Structure 1
């Protein structure tokens, strides 16, 4: 049976005033099923009792012969455990855009998601109250060309503002941005917490060298896995294992994902469920 690990990040922020919040982040499931109907995943989520489940893209597998039933089954169980907010990845985007290839399957899937109560966020933002704390979640849907291989200039802050508006400086802003490739631009946009996937943890991770290759065949990709911080105008840096995120730093977390496709290879890079403990500064 396929296995996964749980990685927990503790984030301290002065935008959460009194009550700690817990989120589970899922990325890159790609129709993979753990055990019977993903029971091991749901048992873990149930035990964590999160305030929300955040999906950072690629729950589906965007191939012509791939079914959407595994993703629909996953969501139908997930919504029983917590509110689900879902930002698209390149596989969702591909299936929705290229109807000649995929037909209307994704439109039907999207309709089903809404009926379940899933918040599917395509360049949309929701603001809601959790335990008296105000949190905003935005799902970024970049134009498809930003997933092309080869050298690529990022969208920049202005283009991001055109797609998703500006963040509210007084609200804890979470950005679901599937590809971590443009981390510098996400930081510039102003998110407090950026959640990404897409690179599957770098496929292979080596001591001291980190993530080796991305699914789009880029060597040693930046922001490929783990926790990164940016404070003021200083460059973003990878956070050490024993360091605690504090103060007004911006945080980016890239998960290794729960599944894979095409290159089903993982070396020192287990499948991963990410847990986010967002704490008031005083805790």
Structure 2
């Protein structure tokens, strides 16, 4: 059986007033099935009792011969456990854009999962009201050229605002931004918490060196894996998982993902389910 680890981040914020919130974040499943019908994943999520499940893209595998049934089956079980908010990755985007290669399969899939109760956020924002707390979740769908290999000038804050509007400073803002490549722009946009995947943890991770290579063949990618913090006007910095995150910082978390494709390689880089505990400042 393919195994995975659970990584928990505790985030203390003054935008959560009284009631702690818990989210599970999933990325880059790519049609992989862990155990029998992903039962170990669902058992773990059920034991966590999250307030919502956040998907940071690439649940599907965007290849012409790949089925959408594994992703649909996963979502049909996930919605029984908690509300599911799903931001697109490049594989979802590819299947939806290139209908010459993929036909209308993804549009049919999108319609089906919405009927299940999945909230698919394609440059859209959802306001969650949970136990008297307010959280905004935005799914970013960047123009597809931003996923091209080689040097690509990333989007600026103005372009992001054109795609998804501006953040609300009064509520806790979570941005589902599949590729971490443009982390600087996400911080500039103003998200309190940025959730990314795409790099599969750097495929190979080594002590002191961190993530070695991304799936788009970039060496030592910035924001390759883990937790990054930005305080006021300072530059974002890599942070240790064991430290509690305070409300005066913006946070970016890049997950290792639960699956892989094409290069099915993981060295010192286990599959990962992420848990986010958002705590009031006084807790």
Same fold (TM over 0.5): yes
Deviation of residue 136 (structure 1)? Answer: 0.3
The corresponding residue for 1:267 is 267
1:258 corresponds in structure 2 to 258
Q: Calculate the TM-score normalised by the size of structure 2.
A: 0.99
Matched, 1:185 2:185: yes
Q: Secondary structure at the match of 2:268?
A: coil
Aligned to 1:209: 209
| 1:46 CA drift (Å) | 0.2
* Structural mapping, 1:5-154, within 5 Å: 5-154=5-154
In the alignment, the residues of structure 1 paired with residue 111 and residue 180 of structure 2 have an alpha-carbon distance, to the nearest angstrom, of 28
1:236 aligns with 2:220: no
Which secondary structure state, in structure 1, belongs to the residue aligned with residue 111 of structure 2? helix
- Residue 120 of structure 1: how far off its partner (Å): 0.2
What is the CA-CA distance between 1:242 and the residue it aligns to? 2.9
Q: Which residue of 1 aligns with 2:164?
A: 164
**Deviations along 1:131-180, whole A, 9 cap, x unmatched?**
10000000000000000000111101000000000000001000000000
Taking only aligned residues, the RMSD between alpha carbons, in angstroms, comes to 0.5
Shift of 1:234: 0.1
Cα distance between partner residues in 1 of 2:56 and 2:160: 17
Deviation track 1:1-46 (CA, whole Å, cap 9, x = no partner) reads 1000000000000000000000000000000001111000000000
Q: Distance in 1 between matches of 2:32 and 2:215?
A: 17
Q: Structure 1 CA distance, aligned partners of 2:240 and 2:38?
A: 32
User: Is the Cα contact below 8 Å between 2:11 and 2:247 reproduced in 1?
Assistant: no
* Deviation per residue, 1:111-134 (Å, 9 max, x gap): 001100100000000112101000
Q: Answer yes or no: is 1:281 the counterpart of 2:281.
A: yes
Quick one: distance in 2 between partners of 1:167 and 1:241?
26
Tell me the CA shift for residue 244 of structure 1: 1.5
Q: Is the 8 A contact 2:54 2:85 kept in 1?
A: yes
Separation in 2 of the partners of 1:224 and 1:23?
A: 21
1:241 Cα offset (Å): 3.4
**Structure 2: 5+ residue stretches without partners:** none
